[in-house]
Chain A
Amino acid sequence: MASYDVVVVGAGSVGTPAALALAEAGLRVLVVEARPSVGQGSNKAAIGGVRATHSDPAKIRLGRRSIEIVSTWKEARGEEIEWRSGGYVFVAYTPREEKLLKDLLVVQHRYGLEIEWLDARGLLEVVPDLNPEGLLGGTYSPGDGHLSPLLLVHAYYREATKAGAEFRFRERVTGIEVRGGRVRAVVTDRGRYEAPVVVNAAGAWAREIGRLVGEEHPVVPDSHEAGVTEPVAHFLDPMIVDIRPVPGSSNYYFHQLASGQLTFCISPSPPIVGEDCRETSAFLPMVARRMVELMPRLVNVRVRRTWRGLYPMTPDGSPLVGWSSEVAGYAVAIGMCGQGVMLGPAVGELLGRLITDSLLPGDREVLELLSPSRSFAAQEALK
């Protein structure tokens, strides 16, 4: 019978970095994944934005650390993940967004984030192709950026494997054995693996895993639709985010990848709750109209592919990270609310420290804010 120090459930944006951190801390790690390879859940659907400019201190801290990791990844690990530090731009065309964004700046500056308000002229210098008509300005955070989620998760996978972590694919977790209030083993459709610690990193499917230990995690997926274009010569640095609500969608965002392709994503409104990831006819007309009106230059760029992916949402828009208060040895890193790629690198490290009992001074605040047993009173202002 195989036994490990930790079994991680899910080889995605969070589970794979966690496996690396745990393996590099010297633990025997097994990652169990129902899909045939890493990143086949929501990671492959992500468009790759990474930012520190959130409004919640826990996410700000994690986002910052993630940027440190991914921006130095190539030097440190030698692998290309197509990180580009192009910044984020949130545009404002109505006083509503202007006020919302400026209010947030106060919080963001309090945490020392590099983000500023630019008036229309200033913003057009950063993004000359924005439609100037009615543009009031926007925020610009040059330290944020984007990368390839696919390359990132595979880079983590290679490093984790090198560090000794084992991965078992096409293997579905069917049970988690708990005795005496403590996890003992993970049972799958193909085997049983003993471990004193089990990490739930099952993303949009975290709820089902939680039920195996009798916990009901408040994580409900909704779906967003995304696309990618042909590659064109570089013309756009930052991720552009437009948070104007219009019938059908609450916001959308896009950026130009290192490969020259543009990738874009829209948040349906009201949200489409559920796991359905089949393509819909509504998406392209909706997102295309918004993008072309915002940036007329995009009228000629050819769309290559579209897909739908899941945002595992929590009631307050922030992840659940930490030990279970009910079952000893059961930890969760779930409910990333569509930000698994940008938070995953930092969350992976945090899990490593949590499980090896080597938390850093700042970690406690983060873990308190993201506690799986917190009450969900607050709402994330900028999801």
Chain B
Amino acid sequence: MRLERHPILPVERGEPFPFTFAGRELLAYPGETIAAALFAHGIRVFGHHPKDGAPQGIFCANGQCAQCLVLADGLPVKACMTAVRPGMAVLPADGLPELPRVPTPPPLREIGRVEVPVLIIGGGPAGLSAAIELGMRGIQTLLVDDKARLGGKLVLQTHRFFGSTEAVYAGTRGIDIAARLAAEVRALTSVEVWLDTVALAVYSDGWVGVLREGRSYVLVRPEVLLVATGAREKSLLFRGNTLPGVYGAGAFQTLVNRDLVRAAERLFIVGGGNVGLIAGYHALQAGIAVVGLAEVLPECGGYKVHRDKLARLGVPIFTSHTILSANGRDGVESVTIARVDGRFQPIPGTEKTFPCDTVLVAVGLDPVDEFYRKAKEFGMRAFAAGDAQEIAEASAAIFSGKIAGRRIAHALGFPGVVVPPEWETTLEVLKSRPGARREPGGELPTQGVVPVLHCHEEIPCNPCASVCPQGLLRVDPADIRKTPEFRLENGKACLGCERCVVVCPGLAITLVDYRKDPEHPTVTVPHELGAEATPVGAKVALVSAAGEILGEAEVREVRATPRNDRTVLVKLIVPKEIAPNVAGIRLTARWGEEPLPEAVESLADDEIVCRCERVTAGEIRALIRAGFRDMNAIKAVTRSGMGACGGKTCGPLLKRLFREEGVSPDEVTDYVGRPLFMEVPLGIFAGAELPDG
């Protein structure tokens, strides 16, 4: 199903056109990927693996894995990266594809070669920010990005950003930051942008091979290379971990927020870091039920305000829980979790099974840094920025890109370019993980208008302090990680302007207005679910910051003005005793459901380490126990890492298995990384120009 409306994202579609899947005629819209068009029709199985017939579908939705292979007009392609075209005949990838007969060689031209001062791989927050620094100095820069649109993962972020208002657009939604950065880059004449262009390899002779617009191979030789390729999602070992319906959180966000398809009905999330928490929130915005979230640690690792947003909307959060299995035949039908002990081992008897159709794996990110490592190995002048350098928030990526841009300008001998020392400090602040929590408390006034800050954890964020016209909200300007404070000073009073309520990325500020009725003050709470979700007169549950139900109230007024930029303010009359504690409202009783009366658990031997070649954890454990220490030897024997993705997903899992088997990392030899980054038709290297697509 496609999303027909979204509280944050514009839903605009052109004229639909037909294509076929397995002979069945379906409709697609211009710009949709094959994957999106299939999901829109509820098709999640794209084929079956030649080795064991396992159903295959989306996993990363990011061109990194190869699990979404289909045949488009006879040729194998990644469904997540290939736009569907009118009349396209798409077939599931079942068995090995037949190579089409070609009677005569196509015309072959010379491979294009481009020399450029700066090549940036990746047009996300880091790459764009660097390009701006370079472009504003007139430095010739080529920026390549593998997607059809600039912005990287910013284009998936519907929430307002944390960080510093001055440094990195805090308080602005990620999608809008993407648009602003992209527009700035487009206005710079010395920056050339190649979209739909995948970097394939960095060679020892200093050339970088790219696949331009999916059609032609170009060799680029930069004086300086900036690798801003972002991150890839870590995978996790559990039975059923490759069933269609088990996705990376980023994949899910791509399907929902970029492709605007309803990629699930009932979702379970594994991992309580920011990525998992935000993905859950995005699901709720798209009207998808979040059945629950499991986090193996005793506390979620992401920002508490993100966690609280989910909890307030009724998502059950199971800390100290792990996933045991995703269950189902051709797709996820349920998930089984269990409580863990102090050594993170599941405790027998605590298993719970929840019906769901989708399991999101959000257990962390790894840098996509292979190009950077190769470039350094080959002695090239190379920089990395953003997640490719170090995993952190997108706000930090923006800033690290700015710094990298300046460093490159300096490296090219551009006069007078310095990186201000305080920028380094700012970057460190933006990268910092959540810090200390303080107990809510302190006496609040019970008259006038009082902003209540439900934000008690140190995170880098200051939009509230930036917008208060009276200067009553304060975040330590020397360290924006400090929690905000409300102080009545110099006889100034809160005007009730609501700007702080609107701008807070954590939806963690409410206003309590005692002016009309001190016994029954009016509480203003924000939400981002669309004004129609809370019509005037609706009864809603009142919840605390962490999601406990405090009572019930009726919606008195709904404010959804353009100035508030899709943040909806709801006003409710609340008894004064609980008014300061009301941090939000809950629209439905509970998204989650009770677990099934009896836990079910898939016992199939399908705990897959290498998705491409379907190699199980059991096979690899046996080799480790037999003395194998070289991952390349495991690869030789099992084919693990030999598949299309080149060990991108299984490499980290293999290392994890070594750790679990008690083998020290010093004893383990990593996969030898070789080009190419993704598979490309031989003809393209020969200089053949392939048809569109």
Contacts and interface: CB of A to CB of B under 8 A. Distances in A.
Interface of A: 35-40, 44, 129, 131, 133, 150-151, 153-154, 169, 229-235, 259-260, 276, 278-282, 284-285, 287-289, 291-293, 296-307
A154 B209 contact: no
B633 A281 contact: no
Given A35-B630, A36-B669, A131-B105, 4 more contacts: A37-B630, A284-B217, A284-B685, A299-B688
A285 B683 CA distance: 9
Contacts of B682: 229, 288, 291-292, 298-303
A234 B76 CA distance: 15
A306 B205 contact: no
Interface in B648-693: 669, 674-676, 679-688
B378 interface: yes
Contact of A230 (B76, B637, B669): B76
B588 interface: no
B551 interface: no
Nearest to A278: B204
A302 B93 CA distance: 15
A289 B96 contact: no
A302 B687 contact: no
B681 A300 contact: yes
15 contacts: A37-B630, A151-B636, A279-B675, A280-B205, A288-B686, A296-B104, A297-B100, A297-B101, A298-B682, A299-B106, A299-B688, A303-B685, A304-B676, A305-B674, A305-B676
A302 B78 CA distance: 12
B688 to A, nearest CB: 6
B644 interface: yes
B629 interface: yes
B632 A301 contact: no
A300 B688 CA distance: 10
Contacts, number: 162
Contacts of A35: 630
B683 A292 contact: yes
Contacts of A298: 99, 682-683
B101 A276 contact: no
Interface residues of B, number: 51
A133 B105 CA distance: 10
A44 to B, nearest CB: 7
Contacts of B646: 304-305
A291 B687 CA distance: 12
A232 B680 contact: no
Contacts of A284: 209, 217, 685
A281 B628 contact: no
A299 B102 contact: yes
A40 B684 CA distance: 31
B493 interface: no
B252 to A, nearest CB: 27
A280 B686 contact: no
B681 A302 contact: yes
B203 A280 contact: yes
B693 to A, nearest CB: 12
Contact of A302 (B219, B674, B675, B679): B679
B382 interface: no
A306 B636 contact: no
B204 A230 contact: no
B603 interface: no
Contacts of A40: 630, 632-633
A36 B683 CA distance: 37
A40 to B, nearest CB: 6
A281 B685 CA distance: 10
B106 A297 contact: no
